[in-house]
Structure 1
Amino acid sequence: MCFYSMHSSYVSSLAYSSPSIVIEAGRTQSGQRILYDDYREAYYWLRHNTDPDAKIMSWWDYGYQGCALASSEEKAYPIMESLDVDYVLVIFGGVTGYSSDDINKFLWPVRIGSGVFPDDMHHEKDFLNPTGQFDVGPAGSKVFQNCLAYKLCYYRFGELRALPDCAADFASRPQVGKEALPSGLGATQA
């Protein structure tokens, strides 16, 4: 019990003592740190490539954003238009293996958003496959595969991997088949 307490305190001190937007992803075999600097780079890009008054929608506010990201493009567009949104920011870790991305957190905006807008959006059960699991692969919910968040995260994802029939999402770990990718957004024909 003492060892567990010491270990827990040590891990907590590493995780919470110096918060940063640069995330340590692990270490190489030689012990060199692997860092994800994607947040800082994304914000740098936004600062230098968008108008200072641009409105950027992201998952942090679960209300309208959760409703928009969990909706089809047709239903999301009027929401974003009413909020005067210029850009939509999604964090996707499927290429790098970053598991705290918007896909892995997706059910939370749905849960909270459907509590705020119970008549205007899908509910959690609509995003689960027939066995009741949240699945981003080919067996996943068609409602999920048609929502804005899925389409933005997996946009042209199949083109990034040179696999004949599927692309591996390195954060969620499933094989995302071409048939599960949004129409026209899957792997290109060879």
Structure 2
Amino acid sequence: MFDFHILLFLFPAGLYFCFKRLTDATIFIVMYGLTSMYFAGVMVRLILVATPAVCLISAIAASATVKNLTQVVRAKSQAGQSGSSKGTSTTKGSSKGVIDNSQPFQKNGAMALLLGAFYLLSRYAIHCTWVTSEAYSSPSIVLAARGAHGNRVIFDDYREAYFWLRQNTPPDAKVMSWWDYGYQITAMGNRTVIVDNNTWNNTHIATVGRAMSSYEDEAYDIMRSLDVDYVLVVFGGVTGYSSDDINKFLWMVRIGGGVFPVIKEPDYLVNGEYRVDKGAAPKMLNCLMYKLSYYRFGELTTEYGKPPGYDRARGVEIGNKDIKLEYLEEAFTTQNWIVRIYKVKPPKNRW
């Protein structure tokens, strides 16, 4: 509803009008609309593919509706004028005059429907303008929000982190993160990543998911096998940014568990519920992703009247505040804690 607005209702109507007049063009439009909507339902990012089809089919419905209502208004007006000019001297004319008594009501109804249609279309235009200016105007690496007093607040943590990577890490350093940020790290940080948005090898992505969902010592062995130098996580507990790695973590577990049976999703849930507070599962409280996201967070007060370690994105106090790292060390955390970078320690000398 947020993206399509009234098009959710116009789209089925447009399909109806297309089926009424089946031609090669309308058959193509119908197939395009139905297949794109199906795949958009399967994968939300494909809504970009469905948008042109939805707009086109909805426009057919709006055009046909306005055209039909306009014809009703014009036809009744012409019929009324012709009836008054011919008079009602004959029986046939008098019966026609009786029928024409309902014409003003039909005309008024058509006019009301026309006004309603134009009102809804104008509201749709206003909604699209607002969504474009507010929700989709900021690039994904520059976040915008409204402050307590209604002022616009800009979070530039992504660029801050990528600049730090480019300036403070060796040129051949390898960075492990979830695949969402692979392109950004490569383009803006100029560093090699383990997985990115174009990684088709599901086993490779599952290996990163397994590392993130394992205990630190187990994850360390995986990272050493991948030759990882730094680990980057996105965390929104300070700012309330909900699209962080903690909220994506269950997908890391599911993808990792799909390839490596040792990772089991129920181990991270409590009564089927995903939690990060004191009631969270022990596996969840001690996995690598949890430790890297909440390291030193238990000492921080994020909101007035809330205890230290209050996660603003989840609205709870975290369950593990005494986090210690053995195989990784904090290298850099951005101003608003949105991006956190950790360095993988070299293996200890066994001699």
Give the Cα separation in 2 of the matches to 1:78 and 1:158.
27
Matching of residues 63-142 of structure 1 within 5 Å = 63-115=206-258, 117-119=259-261, 121-129=262-270, 131-142=271-282
The alpha-carbon deviation at position 122 of structure 1 amounts to: 1.7
Quote the Cα distance in structure 2 between the aligned partners of 1:66 and 1:11. Answer: 37
User: Which of 292, 298, 305 is the equivalent residue of 1:152?
Assistant: 292
Aligned to 2:159: 40
Aligned length: 179
Q: Which runs of 4+ in 1 moved over 4 A?
A: 3-8, 162-166, 182-185
Going from structure 1 to structure 2, the CA distance change for 1:113 and 1:6 (only over 3 Å counts) comes to farther
Q: Which has the larger radius of gyration?
A: 2
* 1:87 partner amino acid: Y
In structure 1, what is the equivalent of residue 141 of structure 2? 21
Q: Are the structure 2 counterparts of residues 57 and 24 from structure 1 closer, same or farther at C-alpha, using a change threshold of 3 Å?
A: same
Equivalent residue for 2:317, pick from 152, 165, 175: 175
Cα deviation for residue 98 of structure 1 reads 1.2
Question: Displacement of 1:142 after TM fit?
Answer: 0.6
The structure where helix makes up a greater share of residues is: 2
Distance in structure 2 (CA, Å) of the matches to 1:7 and 1:56: 43
One-letter amino acid of the counterpart of residue 113, structure 1: G
Residues 18, 35 of structure 1: CA spacing in aligned structure 2 closer, same or farther, 3 A cutoff? closer
Structure 1's unaligned 5+ residue stretches are: 186-190
Unaligned runs of 5+ in 2: 1-5, 7-119, 180-194, 196-204, 326-351
Equivalent position SS for 1:90: strand
* C-alpha RMSD over aligned residues: 2.5
Deviates more, 1:67-76 or 1:160-169: 160-169
CA contact (8 A) 1:28 1:34 kept: no
| 1:130-163 deviation per Cα after TM superposition (whole angstroms, max 9, x unaligned) | x211000000011111100001111111122299
Structure with the bigger RCO (C-alpha within 8 Å, sep 6+) is 1
In 2, the alpha carbon distance for the partners of 1:105 and 1:7 equals 33
Give the % identical residues.
51
**TM-score normalised by L of structure 2:** 0.46
Residues 6/123 of structure 1: CA separation in 2 closer, same or farther (3 Å cut): farther
